[in-house]
Amino acid sequence: MTIDVHGHLIAESLLRNPEFDLALEGTVGRGLKIKAWGITVDAIKEDLFNPEIQVRSMDAEGIDKRVISLPPFLFGYGKESSWAKTWARAGNDALSGICAKSSGRFLGFGIVPLQDPEWAVGEMRRCRLDLGLSGIEIGTQVKGQDLDEATFTSFFEEADRLKCSILVHPNNVSFGERLSKFYLRNLIGNAMETTICISRLWLGGFFKRYPHIRVCLSHGGGGFPFLLGRLRHGRRVRPEFGNREDRLDLPPGLYVDTVVHDEKALRYLIDQCGLKSVLLGTDSPFDMGLPDPVRFVRESVPTAAQGAILESNPESFLNS
């Protein structure tokens, strides 16, 4: 059994609903694009809105189950709260329906209108308790507000009570024109968004306050695993931390996925974060996803570690 914790799918009904101001342009195989609320996303594959085609791709890659969620450009954080609430409900209803019809191949992570934490709490409860979704996907920031800010306390308190699984996905990359060339907004910007997000949460005691939340950082945790030594040293010597001497171990609720595109990077990820923290992820079906993901794991790590990454760790992350 192989379980991919990081995949994306958009119900075609959402794309065809004029209420949501989305547009699918082009033809299959000839440059499909999605226009959504002022942005255009290109290189769209039919897998993104066709569950049957995505299942065939999963079969070819050796993936038995996939956690699907909306891509981050559809979080709706920039929208007015009541509209975002309607959007989240529609998206989660559609996602739940796709999962229910998939014969167990798809599990779902819902979205919430996190710009309004009170409504986000209600939608998270509906996803987990009414729709049967497996968890929640959120962004690394909400309109410039980082996740460790007090405005989100009520949301994470409820997530802790629900023992929620959360996929944190970079969104709203905020490094300006310096990343305008060479697709660096994605190649570097996404990784740095994740690095900043998890560093603030970890150093700020998030996992001690919310010990029952399980958080998976997409794209291998960005640069975080490679900066652990620097962060720990800073915590020992800088007055901002009160010169604490403890090592600050990584918490059991922190996970990272395998979307690192390099065999040595995956092995280093295991060394830094621990084998139990590493989950199969693909970011499928986007072009920056991990190609042939099961083979990538099998060719990168010893046989004894493969079952943990492909099956038992994802099960641990998903099961409350």
Q: What is the pLDDT of residues 41-67, one digit of tens each?
A: 888 899 999 999 999 999 999 999 999
* Number of alpha carbons in the 13 Å side-chain half-sphere of residue 179: 16
Please give the Cα distance from 234 to 244 (Å, whole number): 10
3-state secondary structure 12-71: HHHHCCHHHCEEEEEECCEEEEEEECCEEEEEECHHHCCHHHHHHHHHHHCCCEEEEECC
Q: How large a percentage of the chain has pLDDT more than 90?
A: 79
Q: Are 314 and 285 in contact (CB under 8 A)?
A: no
Q: Are 102 and 96 in contact (CB under 8 A)?
A: no
Q: How confident is the model at residue 124 (pLDDT cuts 50, 70, 90)?
A: very high
Q: Are 84 and 115 in contact (CB under 8 A)?
A: yes
**Among the ranges given (6-20, 91-105, 167-181), the one the predictor scored with the smallest mean pLDDT:** 167-181
Instruction: Give the residue-averaged pLDDT of 279-307.
Output: 96
Say if residue 102's pLDDT is above 80.
yes
Q: How confident is the model at residue 26 (pLDDT cuts 50, 70, 90)?
A: confident
In the structure encoding, which two tokens stand for residue 283, read together?
């970011």
Q: Is 183 left (phi over 0), alpha (psi -120 to 50) or beta?
A: left
Say if residue 268's pLDDT is above 70.
yes
Return the SS3 of 298.
helix
CB atoms within 10 A of CB 77: 21
Say if residue 117's pLDDT is above 80.
yes
Q: How confident is the model at residue 320 (pLDDT cuts 50, 70, 90)?
A: low
Return the SS3 of 135.
strand
Report the C-alpha dihedral over residues 295, 299, 302, 307, rounded to 10 degrees.
0
Bond from prior residue into 285 cis (ω within 30 degrees of 0): yes
Domain boundaries, the chain: 3-10+45-318
Residue 223 Cα distances to 137, 173, 194, 220, 234, angstroms = 20, 15, 8, 8, 16
Per residue in 199-214, pLDDT (tens digit) is 999 999 999 999 999 9
Could you tell me which CATH number the domain at 3-10+45-318 has?
3.20.20.140
Per-residue burial over 32-41, b = 16 or more CB atoms within 10 Å of its CB, e = otherwise: bebebeeeee
pLDDT: which is higher, 176 or 121: 121
For residue 247, what pLDDT is reported? 65
Nearest to 253 by CA among 218, 309, 202, 301: 202
Q: At what angle do helices 117-125 and 153-161 cross, to 10 degrees?
A: 20
Say if residue 178's pLDDT is above 70.
yes
Q: Are 224 and 198 in contact (CB under 8 A)?
A: yes
- Amino acid present at 151: T
Q: Is 9 left (phi over 0), alpha (psi -120 to 50) or beta?
A: beta
Q: Are 57 and 43 in contact (CB under 8 A)?
A: no
Name the DSSP letter for residue 249: P
Nearest to 266 by CA among 226, 315, 314: 226
Average pLDDT of the chain, as a whole number: 93
For residue 130, what pLDDT is reported? 97
